[in-house]
Amino acid sequence: MKRLNKHSAIVDACYEIGATGWFLVVLLVAIPRSLRYLRETIRQIWFVGAKSLIIIMISGLFVGMVLSLQLYYTLSIFGGTSALGTVVALSLYRELGPVVTALLFAGRAGTSITAEIGLMRATDQLSAMELMAVDPIAFVATPRFLAGLISMPLLVAVFNMMGLFGGHLVGVNWLGIDNGTFWSNMTSNVNVWTDVINGEWKAFVFGAAISLIAVFQGYNAPPTSEGVANATTRTVVWASIVILALDFVMTAFLM
């Protein structure tokens, strides 16, 4: 009996992965139709992007401060604290910026998207749209998918900026590293294409993955309060796992 349940769970997981992949194809096909609802897409960019700025900025500031403090004491063991600015910037651009922002985005915006669409499903709003000849995929799902796709790279850029500011506050104003050394080492060793742009590519892929999972879970949520709650939980769990898995794959290919 336990073996049957185990196999059933594996089959369910494979089915959900396949259904999510097919849903991505449906969303991509619906993009031209969703251009008629450009205002809805802009509204969703405001909802998932602009309203996430506060948590992204505060988190980026403190991550940069903690990173600078930890790296300073690590580098001091090897006598190389002058490279603090470079190491902080590379850590943010290559890894922490995209990953931490994606996890925060999944927790804040991804759950909101799932809950909102799930509530539409539970209250028969999606069915009502179909009766009024309004395509719910083009009007509801695709604008939210595009909003996450557009917002994530911008949020990562804001996170990195605040992280560098926090690292500068700790490194220069607290630990006493020369301001010119901090910035000159960073600008001379950080490459725009291999470091900054690769981090933005990660952000773009993470944004697509989070938005796809959030929209899929909400659109296919059972029309009950418990079903919407479970769909929201699945969004956080699946998005977190996918982010970390994609981070490993992309880091291996972008190194």
Average pLDDT, the chain: 89
DSSP code, position 62 = H
Confidence band (pLDDT; 50, 70, 90) for 76?
Answer: confident
**Sign of dihedral through CA atoms 75, 78, 81, 82?**
negative
Q: The whole model's pTM is what?
A: 0.90
Cβ-Cβ contacts under 8 Å for 248 (sequence gap 6 or more): none
Confidence band (pLDDT; 50, 70, 90) for 7?
Answer: low
Query: Over the stretch 200-246, which tens digit does the pLDDT of each residue have?
Result: 999 999 999 999 999 999 999 988 888 999 999 999 999 999 999 99
Confidence band (pLDDT; 50, 70, 90) for 4?
Answer: very low
Query: Over the stretch 167-176, which tens digit does the pLDDT of each residue have?
Result: 999 988 888 8
